[in-house]
Amino acid sequence: MRKIAVPVQNNIVSAHFGHAPKFKIFSLDEGKIIKEESVENPGHKPGLLPKMLSDAGADVIISGGMGQKAIAIFEQNNIEVICGASGDANTVINDFLKGSLEEDDNRCSHGGDHNHDHQGGRGIGNSSGTGKGNGSGKR
């Protein structure tokens, strides 16, 4: 069985992994969703979310954008990171399962000071062609 974690706000994939109010965790068996659960974000502290999601059994993270440090921590724990997703979380998961997610840049769209880099990880878009970003981590 596989588990995929997706940071969400109102069931929409969050543009910034660490700032999502919740994470949906999808349990999969034989390529089908067999269970969905929602977990509150305990806070945006370095290393906390990768540990929490690893402890929850996630082996794939699909996100809108994520910082390089978080990507590195996930990859060190053999958790695949896919960035650049957008739209409804269930649609994104179904597109992922069908193999119809397209590669795209990692993106992060929040205001204010933004001093971390967004390099690494694999990027995707959804089947409608949205989810594009410039990959610079700056808007």
- Smallest CA-to-CA distance from 28 within 47, 10, 54, 1 is with 1
- CB distance 37 to 25 below 8 Å: yes
**At residue 127, does pLDDT exceed 60?**
no
Buried b (16+ CB within 10 A) or exposed e, 17-30: bbebebbbbbbbee
- Smallest CA-to-CA distance from 69 within 27, 115, 103, 120 is with 120
* Mean of all residue pLDDT scores within the chain: 77
- Segment 56-115, tens digit of pLDDT: 999 999 999 988 888 888 999 889 999 999 999 999 999 999 988 754 555 443 333 333
Question: 3-state class of 29 per DSSP?
Answer: strand
> Which CATH architecture describes the domain 2-123?
2-Layer Sandwich (3.30)
Alpha-carbon gap, residue 106 to 84, rounded angstroms:
5
**At residue 138, does pLDDT exceed 70?**
no
Considering the chain, what percentage of its residues have pLDDT values greater than 70?
Answer: 73
